[in-house]
Chain A
Amino acid sequence: MPQDYSYFPGCSLRGTGVAYDESVRALFALLDLKLHELPDWNCCGATSYMSIDEGSAFVLSARNLSLAGQAKHGDLVTPCSACFLVLKKTQDYVEHYPAIATKVQQGLQAEGLPPLNGVRVRHPLEILYNDVGLDRIKQASVRPWRGAPLACYYGCQLVRPYCDSDEQQTPTHMEEVLKAAGIPTVEYALKTKCCGGSLTGTIPAVGQRLNYIILKEAIRKGAGAIVTVCPLCQYNLDAYQADIRKSTGEAIDIPVLYFSQVLGWAMGADPKALGMQRSIAGKKTIKQWFAASEREEKAHV
């Protein structure tokens, strides 16, 4: 019996984070978890909207929650950390601030939508950890890892302030899940530090310095790649490496992947189905992994 979830991809997974969408769908299918994309979903109300017009942002966000309540496919899964945070924040604020609750209620009524019913908002990593469990991940992982150990990078929005089952400052679910899949990881002290967020667009010098700190420390720790849970983190760390090489003169070139890509790979999925060809940095490293595995798999046959 497959487990059912409502699925909210959010805008990033239709743009810069297509590989995240592809890999989460592939990974969930491998684990017999069924994702039902929310019909007619809209903007989650994330950072930029929230900073300019909080009231409308809550209403937008609540519309998605209301749709999920109506859809009755169970918990609402969203891979994007920003979507996860905003949807959680909307539930929290509606519960605790009557003025916001009223505004949201009016917005939903105008749309003819039912009030919020407390649908549970969840991240795929937490689902892997709690619903699937480390044992099943271990069983499902068929492809041995031949690359260097990985640096698990969580960023901020997934763990702060709405952290359901992991530690806010020193989360470990990603490491545990990768370890179960036979993938080694490095001790990585910067795992919840700032990736630069939208500063890469607004004050690039500051944003890129923050990217640089994270990349450099991962390389120093001997990581073969950085693994992320957030499309903005992934984009920031992946897309600016050429600029950083230019500004620092340092040979920085490291793949930045989604945890779902790495796990999907371990569970035997085709790299194309996981969107791994879409990475910008560290192409050479990724190609070497493919080649090594292919050789091995052919030898087996």
Chain B
Amino acid sequence: MSEEIRTGVYTCHCGSNIAATVDVKAVAEYAAKLPNVVVSRDYKYMCSDPGQDLIKQDIREHKLNRIVVASCSPHLHEHTFRTALAKGGLNEFFFQMVNIREQDSWVHADKPAATAKAIDLIRAAVCRVALQKPLTKGSIPIHPSVLVVGGGIAGIHAALTLANAGKKVYLVEREPTIGGHMAKFDKTFPTLDCAACILTPKMSSVRAHPNITLWSYSEVTQVDGYVGNFKVTVTRKPRYIMEDLCAGCLECIEACVYKDGKFVDDFNMGLSKRKPIYIPFPQAIPQVPVIDPETCIDFKTGKCKKSCVEACGERHAINLKMKETTEIIDVGTIILSTGFQVFDAHRSPEFGYGIYPNVYTALEIERLVNASGPTSGEVVLRDGKRPKSVAIIHCVGSRDEKTNRWCSRVCCMYSLKLAHLLKEHTDAEIFNFYIDIRTPGKGFEEFYQKLRNEGVHFIRGKVAEVTDWAFDPSEEGKLVIRVEDTLLGFARRIPVDMVVLATGLEPHADAQEVRRRFNLTCSSEGFFLERHPKLAPVSTFTDGVFLAGACQSPKDIPDTVAQAGAAAAEALALIDAGHVEIEPNTAFVLEEDCSGCRTCIPMCPFSAITFSEETKLASINQALCKGCGTCVASCPSGSIVQNLYDDEEIFAEIEGVLSNA
């Protein structure tokens, strides 16, 4: 039993990423003197082939049976080094990784202190690895169905790609229709093709596809399970019209007792009114109206003559007693494409939104220039007059220390597009106020050039404020833009009729809730975090959950569609592999020690622990255990043990990190 422990320690330079802040030579020399250490080396890139070969070679030549690599985060290369161990003929769990990059060199500036920290961490790993045991990975089959959350262009594209590959897809959308923000746009940059013309055929395909189950007006409320075997609860809000019975004739809307719309129409950004029974826009999918109980007379007073029900007649598609329902589905992979929300311009009061009626957001202008919008494409101010001059203010809620610091990436281009459309519709004089113009996409710079040739003005300067403070007769009744023109070098006052705020993109208000539900992480600004910014841009830290579109970061339609395709491909790769390997870090009960007190059972978030009435002992289902360790900590008799994290390993690690000689 008492085999001699022979440990190899490898300290990585990571180019200068680690070596610039940690004295790697000193670390390697120190590690060489630690108990059980037979070989200690430092190397430029341990993750490279020669680096891995070093480990394999040393296992053979020095009969190593434990390996410690001090380099980057295990998220990046634990798998790489475990594979190297296996190829060298060692069980891959005789390995411990020390993160001296993300948790040391990247976050410290003081070289001696960072070096001391690296030494402490390596000493802990050397103590721990000696006690580690050989383990084997399990393998579980992958359910071939996919859940796509969010029915904007990202979700639509991902769902269609997967469905076309023959996979069963559930597409869940919380609004009454799919289409997302793109459905609200008029034209798309830089080609100026009509958004509806390219989007609505894809929306119809979703509806018609035999492999896609579309649940609109629904939300994912619970996610259980793990990669390959997720159990997802979808809550379907009552729309009071039964999708399977409705023919989409819309006669019920016509028949509503309200002759005209009376309530804020969200799809038109509040620029028009809708009835209590409505369809968001003519090409909505599903082509099924929805009743808003907040505004419907029957829901509020119970005293409506229900002319909608009458109009529906024999179809009986309207059911005012409809209740919320839930669906529980099994899927193997999940694609999140929940999109973004537009920055609330009220948060930057200096631009006058909500104070002066003729200050609009860009999305409102999208509806205003749209032929199917509230004014049928007629661009008019709130008083019905056509604007003769328009200011477009860039970076509202972007690149701003006071609100959102990131660049929203799409605003420069959509501002140029709106400038073009507004000029086309009104022949007004258009001023763009910008900090920098960012046009790095295909055909973008050419579009910018085209706009300049069209005579649109570009003034470089961050706008100080929009005000109605008039200083001379030319400013009376106008909105005055106060700005420092940084190219001319002086402050200017430019009176205009209409102001358009190029509002930025930000995470949804409930992104944190969604993040928790799907067990994701977020970047500092609150967008969902990808597994690796370059090499795993659609994966997440939760296996089997992928990202597509603006929920990951602001992006335009071409990038969103590309990412949606990539997410679908990643899901397909998992499904077609048929099974997935799982970590052996599960917990198990030491039957001889278990007193049957049942403390652990309610603690388990995965309901993996059961109590046997026969043996009076607890037992843990290895397929359901996710290795969180909660039961281990809760067991009063210490009779639950977790692979990779048993007490003696953890105590050895603590002792190692604290025994600073």
Contact = CB atoms under 8 A, between A and B. Distances in A.
Contacts of B467: 189-190
B349 A189 contact: no
Contacts of A217: 469-470
Interface string B492-520: 00000000000000000000000000000
Interface in B459-473: 465, 467-471
B468 A189 contact: yes
A167 B349 contact: yes
B470 A220 contact: yes
Nearest to B480: A189
A198 interface: no
Contacts, number: 17
Nearest to B352: A189
B350 interface: yes
Given A169-B349, A217-B470, 15 more contacts: A167-B349, A169-B350, A169-B465, A170-B349, A170-B355, A189-B467, A189-B468, A189-B469, A190-B467, A190-B469, A213-B469, A213-B471, A216-B471, A217-B469, A220-B470
Nearest to A170: B349
A190 B471 CA distance: 12
Contacts of B468: 189
Interface string A132-166: 00000000000000000000000000000000000
B354 to A, nearest CB: 10
A190 B468 CA distance: 10
Interface in B435-487: 465, 467-471
B402 to A, nearest CB: 9
Contacts of B471: 213, 216
Interface of B: 349-350, 355, 465, 467-471
Contacts of A213: 469, 471
Interface string A206-220: 000000010011001
A169 B471 CA distance: 20
A220 B470 CA distance: 9
A190 B350 CA distance: 11
9 contacts: A167-B349, A169-B350, A189-B467, A189-B468, A190-B467, A213-B469, A213-B471, A216-B471, A217-B470
Contacts of A220: 470
B109 to A, nearest CB: 19
Nearest to A220: B470
Nearest to B350: A169
Contacts of A169: 349-350, 465
Interface in A166-216: 167, 169-170, 189-190, 213, 216
A210 to B, nearest CB: 12
Determine chain B's interface SS by DSSP, over half rule. Answer: loop
Contacts of A170: 349, 355
A216 B469 CA distance: 10
B400 to A, nearest CB: 13
A170 B355 CA distance: 10
Interface string A33-45: 0000000000000
Contacts of A216: 471
Closest 6 CB pairs of A and B: A189-B467, A170-B349, A189-B469, A217-B469, A169-B349, A169-B350
Nearest to A212: B471
A254 to B, nearest CB: 16
A216 B349 CA distance: 23
Interface in A202-255: 213, 216-217, 220
Nearest to B470: A220
Contacts of B350: 169
A220 B480 CA distance: 15
A112 B425 CA distance: 75
A17 B430 CA distance: 48
B243 to A, nearest CB: 46
B416 to A, nearest CB: 28
Contacts of B355: 170
Contacts of A190: 467, 469
A176 to B, nearest CB: 16
B26 to A, nearest CB: 33
A169 B468 CA distance: 15
Contacts of A189: 467-469
A274 B355 CA distance: 34
Contacts of A167: 349
A216 B465 CA distance: 19
Contacts of B469: 189-190, 213, 217
Nearest to A190: B469
A190 B470 CA distance: 11
A81 B468 CA distance: 27
A236 to B, nearest CB: 18
Most buried by A among B355, B467, B469: B469
A167 B349 CA distance: 9
B476 to A, nearest CB: 9
A190 B467 CA distance: 9
Nearest to A188: B469
A190 B469 CA distance: 7
A31 B612 CA distance: 73
A165 to B, nearest CB: 16
A156 to B, nearest CB: 14
B635 to A, nearest CB: 46
Nearest to B476: A220
B347 to A, nearest CB: 11
A57 B14 CA distance: 51
A171 to B, nearest CB: 10
A211 to B, nearest CB: 14
A225 B410 CA distance: 46
A217 B470 CA distance: 7
A215 to B, nearest CB: 12
A213 B469 CA distance: 9
Contacts of B470: 217, 220
A169 B465 CA distance: 10
A167 B354 CA distance: 15
A192 to B, nearest CB: 10
B264 to A, nearest CB: 24
A213 B482 CA distance: 14
Nearest to A216: B471
Contacts of B465: 169
A217 B467 CA distance: 11
A169 B355 CA distance: 13
Most buried by B among A170, A189, A190, A213: A189
A217 B355 CA distance: 17
B552 to A, nearest CB: 33
Nearest to A167: B349
A217 B350 CA distance: 18
A220 B355 CA distance: 18
A216 B470 CA distance: 9
A170 B348 CA distance: 10
A151 to B, nearest CB: 11
Nearest to B349: A170
A257 to B, nearest CB: 21
Nearest to B466: A189
Nearest to B471: A213
A209 to B, nearest CB: 11
Nearest to A214: B469
